[in-house]
Amino acid sequence: MARTGRPRAFDRDAALHTAMLVFWERGYATTSTTDLSAAMGINPPSLYAAFKNKEHLFREAVGLYERTEADASRRAMDEAPTARKAVAALLHESVDRFTTEGKPRGCMIVLAATNCTEDHASVRDFALRCRARTKTTIKARLDAAADAGDLDADTDTDRIAAFYTTFLNGLSLQARDGADRTQLHDLVDMAMFVWNAPNGPLVDSEA
Amino acid sequence: MARTGRPRAFDRDAALHTAMLVFWERGYATTSTTDLSAAMGINPPSLYAAFKNKEHLFREAVGLYERTEADASRRAMDEAPTARKAVAALLHESVDRFTTEGKPRGCMIVLAATNCTEDHASVRDFALRCRARTKTTIKARLDAAADAGDLDADTDTDRIAAFYTTFLNGLSLQARDGADRTQLHDLVDMAMFVWNAPNGPLVDSEA
DNA sequence: TTTCTTATGTAGAGGTTAGTACAGAAGTGG
DNA sequence: CCACTTCTGTACTAACCTCTACATAAGAAA
């Protein structure tokens, strides 16, 4: 049914996409609603009518980010034939996403709300939950591989997921700080070497 | 020579230490001078007289952080007998520093100015330079080891330094997000396995 | 004591923040 | 045509931001 009343004069999806880019680039706390409405090409009342407030807009922007950017990495992981290739695909795909021309560098979820203070506690906790999902997603892929016999049944998938999540977060910061795309891919190759010793306490070859 | 005029009624070093903790916890942009002067127990004019302005105070706070926290990690690295043990010592020492009770978690330099916007460009660039030094410091230790014959002369020390810097940055975020200290130490052990293949392009054992 | 210097507390200037009141515009339904 | 609903731009509020003017306090130097 067609809604009554004056129709919206701007494209809500396009505006949300713009807001996502601004938050991604500048972070939650350091982006003002004035910046946002200016970038989105609308006036404050339109912003608030369409997105309720700054926090809701941010949550929607993160949702869009997950449905587009983050989900592409997850898909690359799911489509890979083996657990090892899945993790490598996730990391390499992420590197490409972190260094795409015309988009902010690094991961929005990692960078946009790291130092949210107590007065934005709900935003901070929201971002925390989003970040926690990264490890969960990797672990789920590894568990599926273990079920399929692609990994030893006694593999500590949580440990591996934690390692690559940590490394992935580091890649975000390196990308934001201007690291070269090819160098980041090379670092991913290095990180994949850990795969060769996924289980048990590692032996210090020197000690 | 003793300065003339009314003496300062507060301990400048203690106030700076407090400011460091506040910036470390909350970040540069999201910490207000009101928060700072309240935490330091002084009024705004005293803050500005002693530290010039917010940016100068931040720079001094980062300097203090480097002289205390960061330098302890560097010392652990320098004192280790071999290059490999040096990197391991740096990472393990950092994990301890990132998860010390009563202090903010993670690295101040990584977390306090990640999403500084264009209007704080000088602060952002300052933090960027500080972060870049981490890799330089690791590389210097590796180069020294290469000179001493502890590493092959053709070792790509820049590449190794880049990998461990990336991983170290990831540890900061994991620590800030609440990761357990023992788990982080375990992740360091995993990362050290990369050491076994430091040179040349790594062979993908599966591809 | 007087003078000079520097620190202090109060109080506020000037700008920015998130969010909104309001009048009018632009549609739909009758 | 008219009511009704919803969006729009202008203009604003109240709270916050960084930073400072100013009168006074507290020490050293003379």
Query: Which among A55, A59, A57 has a CA at the least distance from the CA of A12?
Result: A57
Partners of B26 on chain A (C-beta within 8 Å) are 115, 117
| Mean pLDDT (whole number) for B148-163 | 92
Residues with Cβ within 8 Å of B175's Cβ and at least 6 positions away in sequence, in order, are: B95, B98, B99, B105, B106, B184
Question: Any chain A CB within 8 A of the CB of B94?
Answer: no
End-to-end CA distance of chain A: 73
The whole-number pLDDT of residue B120 equals 86
Partners of A159 on chain B (C-beta within 8 Å) are 186-187, 190
Spatial distance between the Cα atoms of A170 and A191, rounded to a whole number of angstroms? 11
* Chain A contacts in chain B segment 36-75 (CB below 8 A): none
HSE, side-chain direction, 13 A CA sphere, residue B12: 11
Spatial distance between the Cα atoms of A73 and A66, rounded to a whole number of angstroms? 10
The whole-number pLDDT of residue A1 equals 53
Q: Where are the alpha helices (DSSP H) in B66-120?
A: 71-79, 83-98, 108-111
- Percent of all residues in chain A with a pLDDT value above 70, rounded to a whole number: 94
Most B CBs within 10 A among A119, A173, A196, A204, hence the mutation to make, goes to A173
Spatial distance between the Cα atoms of A148 and A136, rounded to a whole number of angstroms? 18
What's the pLDDT band for A203 if we cut at 50, 70, 90?
A: very low
Question: Any chain B CB within 8 A of the CB of A85?
Answer: yes
| Mean pLDDT (whole number) for A7-27 | 97
Strand D nucleotides within a 7 Å radius of protein CB atoms: 4-12, 16-22, 25-29
**Is A114's CB within 8 Å of B27's CB?**
yes
The whole-number pLDDT of residue A2 equals 61
- The alpha-carbon gap from A32 to the nearest alpha carbon of chain B, in Å, equals 11
- Residue B206, pLDDT > 90, answer no
- Summarize pLDDT for A136-171 with one digit per residue, the tens: 999 999 999 999 998 988 889 999 999 999 999 999
**Is A111's CB within 8 Å of B114's CB?**
yes
The whole-number pLDDT of residue B3 equals 76
What's the pLDDT band for A135 if we cut at 50, 70, 90?
A: very high
Which residues of A spanning 37-96 put their CB closer than 7 angstroms to strand C?
43-45, 48, 53-55
Question: Any chain B CB within 8 A of the CB of A193?
Answer: yes
Question: Any chain B CB within 8 A of the CB of A82?
Answer: yes
- The alpha-carbon gap from B119 to the nearest alpha carbon of chain A, in Å, equals 10
Domains in chain A, ordered, with CATH?
A: 65-196 (1.10.357.10)
- Residue A3, pLDDT > 80, answer no
Residues with Cβ within 8 Å of B158's Cβ and at least 6 positions away in sequence, in order, are: B135, B139
Spatial distance between the Cα atoms of A177 and B129, rounded to a whole number of angstroms? 10
**Is B117's CB within 8 Å of A26's CB?**
yes
| Mean pLDDT (whole number) for B43-57 | 98
What's the pLDDT band for B197 if we cut at 50, 70, 90?
A: low
